[in-house]
Amino acid sequence: MKRDARIKAMQILYTCDFQGIEIDKVLEMEEEYDELGIALARYCYTNMARVDDLISNTLEYYTIDRLNLVDKAIIRLAVSEMLEGKEPRQVIINEALEITKLYTDLGDHKAVSFNNRLLDNINKKLQD
């Protein structure tokens, strides 16, 4: 299932950020091999400068460093998929919001609302 692959990719990206290590080191520690999840994480990691630049230039009154690490991984993954262009952006955004609900939303929907607004704004920038 694609959502499972996205969750695995998010976890890999989170681990890279949290531990401050390269993706290959994280993959060496992986016990479960998810080919699609790893491919998604690698694509995002390889394009991280472009992804982070787009996120940073879209955030208002906020910096990328202030994002919690799980949300940052979810957003980075969604943005990299949007840039890759293999799936409709709305599908990517919806999947990111579902993963947000599972991992960072505290029931008040603030995380989902924040991520939705940011990803929608990025989507608009990419359409220009």
Structure token pair of residue 98: 């579902």
Task: Count Cβ atoms below 10 Å from residue 76 Cβ, excluding itself.
Answer: 27
Give the CATH number of the domain where residue 9 resides.
Answer: 1.10.940.10
| Structure confidence at residue 92 as a pLDDT band (50, 70, 90) | very high
Structure token pair of residue 11: 């976890």
**In terms of residue numbers, what domain contains 47?**
2-127
* pLDDT tens-place string over residues 10-66: 999 999 999 999 999 999 987 777 899 999 999 999 999 999 999 999 999 999 999
Q: What CA–CA distance (Å, rounded) separates 89 from 126?
A: 10
pTM attached to this predicted model: 0.95
Domain count, the chain: 1
Please tell me the chain's helix, strand, coil percentages from 3-state DSSP, rounded to the nearest 5: 80, 0, 20
Angle between helices 89-103 and 2-19 (to 10 degrees): 60
* pLDDT tens-place string over residues 102-117: 999 888 899 999 999 9
